[in-house]
A and B are shown apart, each in its own frame.
Chain A
């Protein structure tokens, strides 16, 4: 417009002949006005220095410019910049710098020099914000400050591809519990550690239990994008685990359609998933067949297997993006199998055991955002587990006892989260669980337990500053079976000491039902026992810098109202656990080597179940240490790993000495593995070999005595070593063009 009016005015002048009379006037008055908007437009110099608002250090390489113009500059080594612009009037100056919040300012330009000294604030960066670390180990690809990555779970040598196996290499967990499934955390029994998938309790996370041999986790580690292993002091969102919570979050929409094939010395697996990126949908499924028959034929096992372990499993997924930035997820699982064996009892009689198991698990959840402030999680889950057991365990005779054990869990859960600013949140919600537990044996014992369990909770993460956070939560629980309600307060605090270190503290009360012990209620006098209780006190120090992590944690735990089975079923037990733990992970010192060391010292005693006095329980070792090391050799595309697990002896029951004063020999297990990554045609392939207990050391978990106490047999693994050979293939199943279109 300026241009046009000048043009008009100059032609007008010309036409009116004014130019003839005095072109000098023109030079004096008109030309400058033209030039000011054209050739020699009035220039403004914009200059200054960009500083970090906090440290006052200059920021090098910041981009300073006038919005919607080409004019701008980059700050130099002193954070200084200078540029000229022909723009005038109201403009917007913007400063951008990678990793910092942009700063914009309205300016009025009218020539001369404009001084601008912006101070930038570092963007929200989770590395700079304190997080509650007391009692929690997290494995996630999404969050940066985690001790583990999901891949660590599958590449840890002693884990055997089992999530629980990998978690045993972390402090707080027992490593020598090869005779029972579950995580034995800080003096707690295996049943005191609960597993949650997408917030919901999993009743039977392990495959069918057999006496003296630990079962594996049911779910593949590849199902989960995030894992939090809490060894205490966990969030009020979760309940019914007195010592530990394993919180697993299932994967969201996968990146691409793919097929997978797994072939190993113990079975076969085949999976397919299809992704429609445009529709935000994916559907997938897999079939897995496990048969240890061929392996047992090759490698001799101590027990005489009458039915070699054999399982057939199938899984299905469905994921759909919905309105409200939401995601609907369904996961369904069914697995059935059988295992049977005979072993020699201490009195030379044969102990026989045979279990047929069928397990169903489903999980349906929806997460979405109602608006910027509100997030909603809704979930429901159903599971059913059936065991048909034949055994000669009780009678000692060869004629089998039979048991039929069935349990189910139906649950609903809703959690609302309100965000206040970037960090502070308030969560509240509730859950309802209907649990059944049916137990029948051939002697006519028939127990049917039904429990309606309801809980409600509220919890807030209050960031007082980015350095100080408090998590305050309250959980109220009620069980119809127990006829009891409890309120469990939980508090955590974390304070960032410096850029790389922080301290946190956690305290809380944790209640739990008496689990399968309650079945025997009808055999005992008295009412069904109430909630058992544990109180946790945890102090944690964490240092993370340059690929090095150090964690030190001390804890004290007090148990009350543990269920005892001496004369009556009652809440007469109690106990304590205290200890110190160390975790050190280092990916830096040795080039290409990633290793971690865990050490736990545990002092614990308890009186529970049938214990006549308070004693260190059979599942607790005083000292546990682990070394895990991995090295990736890019030249040969091979990753090698080793894990060394050590534990001092565990107490065992010896009828001839005082109660639980004897200790098994120390436990040693050195495992190694190697994975070779390659391509076979268009498929990604990983070839894996692994051996546990390379040094072939004797591992004794305890002893079983004859009724007269004269003879005993050692409880050992079914074989000293386990060899694993397998290959995993995955390939994109879309036509190539589709893959391309999908990832746009």
Chain B
């Protein structure tokens, strides 16, 4: 009987494993895709990460996070990329997915930070042509991100980085950049992501930017 019972337990265990809810599976897949993301360096690595999220996105078309991370990875692939001929492909793909995320979850601060970053990509592709269109849009998106969640450190980091890397003639300001990045740093200290798979990146980059602003 004892043995029977143990087999029964085993069967139940097996069943329980099988019966993992769809949401748990989704979270597991996301956690797996997110693991090691802070070690990615090359454009190729970011594209591989983007592939992982894209697979999840097509499986879970109602979830905004996979689409958000696809756009984020494409943005990073752009940032790390050397091949200028691919910039437009990356930026367009980032735009496609951040818009998807926004449609699934409107008025989300994190998505608006990313939208602002994507607008920045288009400006970098061709400042003369795209600056007029995307310049003001990028600023407005960031303001909206802050309004939606004043505690989102990434909104302040992005603002600080923009101030830091924009020439003074065009509104860049190193002093302002520093104070904004300091605000971001303070907000990173208290920031708690909504879950293990919600956006929780940028703390290290913020430290790096702050170091540059201090120089």
Q: Mark A1-22, 1 if CB is under 8 A from B, else 0.
A: 0010001001000100001100
Q: Mark B19-35, 1 if CB is under 8 A from A, else 0.
A: 10000010001000000
Docked complex Cα distance between A141 and B131 (Å): 14
The yes or no answer to A744 lying at the interface (CB within 8 A) is: yes
Beta-carbon contact of B29 and A63 below 8 Å: no
Beta-carbon contact of A38 and B15 below 8 Å: yes
Beta-carbon contact of B169 and A678 below 8 Å: yes
Beta-carbon contact of B140 and A35 below 8 Å: no
Point out the residues of chain B lying under 8 angstroms from A7, CB to CB: 15
Beta-carbon contact of B170 and A61 below 8 Å: no
Docked complex Cα distance between A27 and B89 (Å): 55
Q: Mark B156-186, 1 if CB is under 8 A from A, else 0.
A: 0000000000010111000000000000000
In the complex formed, the residue of A with least CB distance to B106 is: A744
Docked complex Cα distance between A678 and B132 (Å): 10
Beta-carbon contact of B8 and A72 below 8 Å: no
The yes or no answer to B58 lying at the interface (CB within 8 A) is: yes
The yes or no answer to B199 lying at the interface (CB within 8 A) is: no
The yes or no answer to B93 lying at the interface (CB within 8 A) is: yes
Docked complex Cα distance between A61 and B48 (Å): 6
Contact of B44 among A61, A682, A740 (CB under 8 A): A61
Docked complex Cα distance between A636 and B55 (Å): 44
Docked complex Cα distance between A525 and B14 (Å): 107
Beta-carbon contact of A740 and B140 below 8 Å: yes
Point out the residues of chain B lying under 8 angstroms from A74, CB to CB: 47-48, 51-52
The yes or no answer to B144 lying at the interface (CB within 8 A) is: yes
- With A70-B59, A149-B129 already in contact, the answer to whether A635 and B167 are too (CB < 8 A) is yes
In the complex formed, the residue of B with least CB distance to A73 is: B51
Beta-carbon contact of A736 and B143 below 8 Å: yes
Q: How far is the CB of A719 from chain B (nearest CB, A)?
A: 31
- With A20-B4, A37-B18, A98-B93 already in contact, the answer to whether A736 and B140 are too (CB < 8 A) is yes
Most A CB contacts (10 A, CB to CB) among B102, B127, B140 go to: B140
Beta-carbon contact of A740 and B59 below 8 Å: no
Point out the residues of chain A lying under 8 angstroms from B89, CB to CB: 98-99
Q: How far is the CB of A629 from chain B (nearest CB, A)?
A: 15
Number of interface residues of B (CB under 8 A): 45
Beta-carbon contact of A35 and B14 below 8 Å: yes
Point out the residues of chain B lying under 8 angstroms from A23, CB to CB: 3-4, 7
Q: How far is the CB of A662 from chain B (nearest CB, A)?
A: 45
The yes or no answer to A739 lying at the interface (CB within 8 A) is: yes
Docked complex Cα distance between A99 and B58 (Å): 19
The yes or no answer to B202 lying at the interface (CB within 8 A) is: no
Point out the residues of chain A lying under 8 angstroms from B171, CB to CB: 679
Q: Mark A29-47, 1 if CB is under 8 A from B, else 0.
A: 0010011011100000000
In the complex formed, the residue of B with least CB distance to A676 is: B169
Docked complex Cα distance between A740 and B59 (Å): 30
The yes or no answer to A677 lying at the interface (CB within 8 A) is: yes
Beta-carbon contact of B59 and A68 below 8 Å: yes
Point out the residues of chain A lying under 8 angstroms from B51, CB to CB: 61, 63, 72, 74, 96
Point out the residues of chain B lying under 8 angstroms from A27, CB to CB: 7
The yes or no answer to B194 lying at the interface (CB within 8 A) is: no
Beta-carbon contact of A739 and B14 below 8 Å: no
Q: How far is the CB of B86 from chain A (nearest CB, A)?
A: 8
Q: How far is the CB of A509 from chain B (nearest CB, A)?
A: 39
Q: Mark B85-108, 1 if CB is under 8 A from A, else 0.
A: 010010001000001001000100
Point out the residues of chain A lying under 8 angstroms from B18, CB to CB: 3, 37-39
The yes or no answer to A89 lying at the interface (CB within 8 A) is: no
Point out the residues of chain A lying under 8 angstroms from B58, CB to CB: 65, 67-68
Docked complex Cα distance between A99 and B15 (Å): 43
In the complex formed, the residue of A with least CB distance to B18 is: A38
Docked complex Cα distance between A39 and B106 (Å): 39
Which chain B residues have a beta carbon within 8 Å of chain A's beta carbons?
Answer: 3-4, 7-8, 11, 14-15, 17-19, 25, 29, 44, 47-48, 51-52, 54-56, 58-59, 86, 89, 93, 99, 102, 106, 127-129, 131-133, 135-137, 140-141, 143-144, 167, 169-171
- List 21 A-B residue pairs with CB atoms under 8 Å apart, sorted by A's residue number: A3-B19, A19-B4, A20-B4, A34-B11, A38-B14, A39-B17, A60-B44, A61-B44, A61-B48, A61-B51, A68-B58, A68-B59, A69-B55, A74-B51, A149-B129, A632-B128, A677-B131, A679-B171, A682-B136, A684-B132, A739-B140
